[in-house]
Amino acid sequence: DTGVSQDPRHKITKRGQNVTFRCDPISEHNRLYWYRQTLGQGPEFLTYFQNEAQLEKSRLLSDRFSAERPKGSFSTLEIQRTEQGDSAMYLCASSRMWRSYNEQFFGPGTRLTVL
């Protein structure tokens, strides 16, 4: 257990439905990241926050995806009008500071299946 928690661990939904995932980072970490991982591939970066500010979004993050981190604590990732191609593991990570050598601590992920 790294101290990063994600909820739910599994989500099955029908195409066209909206889903929301939650990530609780390690409490003193000010950076929070979201990644997506499909079967057999390495994780792909989606977006990250420093405190409550969203500093970067990947081009992979279409308009159907939105992420928030109110008050710089937990974060939510919402996918609207889900598509089958959204089926993946969604990983959250946090780190203490922004320097390039600071390790990221990953949560267990939320596995999304879109039927």
State the residues that interact with other proteins by CB under 8 A: 2, 4, 31, 33, 35, 41-45, 48, 50, 55-56, 91, 93, 95, 98-101, 103-109
Question: At its nearest, how many Å lie between other proteins and the CB of residue 81?
Answer: 26
Residue 83: CB minimum distance to other proteins, A: 23
Q: Provide the minimum distance between the beta carbon of 60 and other proteins in the complex, in angstroms, as a whole number.
A: 12
Which lies closer to other proteins via its Cβ, residue 41 or residue 113? 41
Cross-strand pairs, 31: 50, 95
Of 7 and 80, which CB lies nearer to other proteins in the complex structure? 7
When the beta carbons of 77 and 93 are compared against other proteins, the nearer one is 93
Q: Tell me the DSSP string of the chain.
A: --S-EEE-SEEEE-TT--EEEEEE--TT--EEEEEEE-TTS--EEEEEEETTEEEEE-TT--TTEEEE-GGGS-EEEEESS--GGG-EEEEEEEESS-STTPPPEE---EEEEE-
Nearer to other proteins by Cβ, of 91 and 114: the residue is 91
Least distance (Å) from other proteins to the CB of residue 40?
Answer: 9
Closest alpha carbon to 50 in 99, 8, 91, 12:
99
